Amino acid sequence: MVEKTGIDSKLDKGRRSGLNCHGKPHDETNHLILVVDDDEDLRESFAGVLEDAGYEAASAGNGREALDFLRSSPPPCLVLLDLMMPVMDGLSFITEKEADSELANIPVVVITAAAGSRLRSIAPRPVLPNH
């Protein structure tokens, strides 16, 4: 038997609690996580882990596709976002999402291989919502 550690165990804990990403009871529209990455294998891997943990996963191959999804679908409780993508990169996605009052409150977690000043330009320190 494989012991779950790291993200797997944290996702399982969230699912077992019966709460969604916002700390509210699960319903049919509020446990969706949008995975945005141009690497199809990574998107599928993230989606698989999320689905195994009881979440729904949607995916987009770039920031433009992600914005189109957000504007045409019920809002996800979280966006997992790569920075380096074609068509529209992660920084441009964040800028446009934040400028849209309908989308601005959707939390984003950056998942990227980028390092250095590009990341510091997004958030100089961790940002946590007020509870």
Tokens of 5: 């550690």
> Can you give the pTM of this predicted structure?
0.70
> Which among 56, 63, 66, 125 is positioned nearest to 90, based on CA atoms?
63
Q: What angle do CA 19, 17, 41 make, to 5 degrees?
A: 70
- 131 residues of the chain, pLDDT tens digit each: 333 334 444 444 444 444 455 555 545 546 899 999 999 999 999 999 998 888 899 999 999 999 999 999 989 999 999 988 999 998 899 999 999 999 999 999 988 776 554 544 444 444 445 44
Backbone angles phi, psi at 66, to 5 degrees: -65, -45
Q: What angle do CA 77, 9, 113 make, to 5 degrees?
A: 65
Q: How far apart are CA 61 and CA 117, in angstroms?
A: 24
Phi-psi region of 114 (alpha: psi -120 to 50; beta: other; left: phi over 0): beta
Q: How far apart are CA 12 and CA 10, in angstroms?
A: 5
> Which among 79, 81, 86, 89 is positioned nearest to 112, based on CA atoms?
81
Instruction: List domains and CATH numbers for the chain.
Output: 30-112 (3.40.50.2300)
